[in-house]
Amino acid sequence: MHKLRPKMVVEMLKENGILKVKLSTPPIPPRPPLPALESRS
């Protein structure tokens, strides 16, 4: 890996952590109504 300054590493980790948190909690997709699911099956 590239040699980075400690400060840069910390900043990258902070940014990656924030990005991971945002990506790991995506907006819940709209779910179809129950009657639609029942009629499909």
> Which pLDDT does position 17 carry in this prediction?
73
Give residue 14's pLDDT. 80
pLDDT score at 2: 63
Instruction: Give me the count of residues in the chain.
Output: 41
Give the residue ranges of the chain where pLDDT is below 50. none
**pLDDT at residue 24, as a whole number:** 61
Instruction: Read off the tokens for 9.
Output: 């590493």
Q: What is the pLDDT of residue 8?
A: 81
* Residue 23 amino acid letter: L
| Cα 8 from Cα 38, distance rounded (Å) | 53
